[in-house]
Structure formats: C-alpha cells, structure tokens
C-alpha cells in the first residue's frame, strides 16, 4: 500500500467535501440586492441618455427595472457597445444583458438565452431613388450596419459587403453620404430613420422583404439554472399581466413615432419556427 497516495487521496476528498457548491448567479443578485444590467449605450428607443437628465431611458431600461422589481432588488444599468453585449455577461461583469439581443447559434454557444419576448426583423433601408426592390438586389453591394450586430450578420448572409460602425447614427450617415448603398437595422430603428428622412437629409425607403427574422431574449452567463428559470418566470408574468405590453407601448406603440403593436407572447425558443443564424 502506498500510504502517501492514500493520505493525499483522503486529503483531496476531504477538501472536496468541505468546498461549498458553486452558487447560482441568482443567489449573488439577491445577496447584493442589485441586478447589474447591460443595455445599449445610445440606441433609442431601447436605451439612450435622456437629453435633459442624462439618465439612461428606453424599452430595455424599463424592462431591466421591471425584472429587478420582481426580484426585490435595485437595477444597476451599465451602457455597453453593441459588440460588448455578449462578452460583458459572459465574463460576469453584468448579471443580464437586456439590449435587443437576438438569438444566434454563435451567441448561444457562449451565453444562456431566456425565452424570447418578441420576434424581430432586420430591415434594409435605401435612398428612395435606389433601383433595388428586394434583398437579392443588394448582393455584392456595400451595406452599412452597427459592428458586431445581427444586422451585420444578415448583410453577410445576403452576400453583401458590410460597412460597420460603432453606432447606428454613423451607419446611417454613411448611407446619406453615399458611402454605402443602404443600411440594415431592426424594424424600429429603420422605421424611425425613414420617417425622419422625409423632412431631413436624403429621403429613404424600406425594402419590404426582411433581411432576417430573429427571436429577441435576455442574455445570461451559462450554468445558472436558477437565474434562467427565474428570469423566464418573470418574463411570463410580465407578459400575462400586460406589463410587458405597457412598456412596449410606451416606447414603441401607436402613440410613438414607431407605431408598432406587440402581438408576440413569451414562449420557449423551441416553440418558435425560424431559421437560426450562425
């Protein structure tokens, strides 16, 4: 018998037995009484600084606050860049990402998604005098978007040439200046830009065929089943109570410049019919 090996084995076993189980992130949130929430830095109507107070406001900010309220904690909003939405939560710098985060296979390999709370579309806008009618007309053409977004992915999937920027405003300016033939963003953003272009800058129009359909959910670090289950539970509660639609209507509804109605329900991703993007 090798007593040194036996002694080492017993010591390691005892240390393992004494080590506490890895805590779920939900426990940390409840203990700190704070929900750290990543949002866009400046992408209205999702999250952007209020022009008067400079505090972050928007749909995603309100949703983060609603989740924090249901948890009985305070929300701590952290504005991040588009491409930082996944790394911030993956590395534990925030607890959740609420930033119009679309499900992709690549992202799902890195982080955990909640059940989707709406199905978004990536839309292409171009100058009104552009000859294109459908997305295939823009294959091989330079199209602008924000860097690291599903908008950029949709451009690549369409075999177009992406010209990317840190923010939506810069991508739109590139089209206005003729540096790109069009721009891709979510329906809300493109609707707003088309409406604004009627009185300012080069008039724009939207190509009717969506570049991409995408389920939108909340991002969390992997291996936190209690947090995932709780966030899904809260989303379903907000949906059933009508509170989620109230937040939607405040920022995106018929009394806003977007005039959009939310008809989606919070359901498991497996119940949705869509083609997941890489």
- Cite the DSSP H helix spans in 144-274: 150-157, 168-176, 187-197, 225-241, 243-252
Summarize pLDDT for 212-240 with one digit per residue, the tens.
Answer: 988 999 999 999 999 999 999 999 999 99
> What domains appear along the chain, each with residue ranges and CATH number?
26-119+215-266 (3.40.190.10), 121-213 (3.40.190.10)
Which tokens is 42 given?
């400046």
Query: What pLDDT does residue 22 have?
Result: 60
The pLDDT assigned to 146 comes to: 95
Q: Is pLDDT at 35 greater than 70 in this prediction?
A: yes
pTM of the model: 0.75
Q: Is 24 left (phi over 0), alpha (psi -120 to 50) or beta?
A: beta
Q: In the chain, what's the furthest Cα-to-Cα distance? A: 88
Q: Please check the confidence at residue 168 and state whether its pLDDT lies above 70.
A: yes
């Amino acid at each position: 018998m090798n007593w040194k090996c036996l002694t080492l084995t017993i010591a390691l076993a005892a240390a393992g037995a004494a080590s506490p189980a890895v805590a779920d992130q939900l426990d940390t949130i409840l203990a700190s009484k704070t929900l750290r929430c990543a949002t866009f830095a400046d992408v209205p109507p999702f999250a952007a600084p209020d022009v008067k107070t400079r505090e972050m406001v928007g749909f995603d900010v309100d949703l983060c606050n609603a989740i924090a309220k249901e948890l009985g904690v305070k929300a701590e909003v952290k504005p991040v860049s588009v491409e930082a939405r996944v790394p911030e939560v993956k590395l534990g710098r925030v607890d959740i990402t609420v930033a119009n985060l679309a499900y992709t296979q690549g992202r799902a390999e890195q982080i955990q998604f909640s059940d989707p709370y709406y199905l978004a579309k990536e839309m292409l806008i171009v100058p009104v005098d552009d000859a294109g009618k459908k997305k295939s007309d823009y294959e091989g053409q330079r199209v602008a978007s924000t860097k690291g977004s599903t908008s950029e992915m949709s451009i690549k999937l369409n075999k177009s040439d992406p010209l990317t920027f840190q923010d939506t405003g810069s991508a739109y300016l590139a089209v206005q200046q003729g540096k790109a033939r069009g721009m891709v963003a979510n329906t809300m953003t493109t609707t707003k830009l088309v409406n604004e272009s009627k009185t300012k800058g080069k008039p724009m129009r939207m190509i009717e065929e969506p570049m991409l359909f995408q389920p939108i959910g909340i991002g969390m670090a992997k291996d936190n089943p209690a947090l995932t289950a709780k966030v899904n539970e809260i989303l379903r509660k907000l949906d059933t109570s009508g509170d989620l639609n109230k937040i939607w209507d405040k920022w995106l509804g018929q009394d806003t410049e977007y005039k959009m109605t939310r008809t989606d329900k919070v359901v498991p991703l497996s119940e949705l019919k869509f083609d997941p993007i890489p």
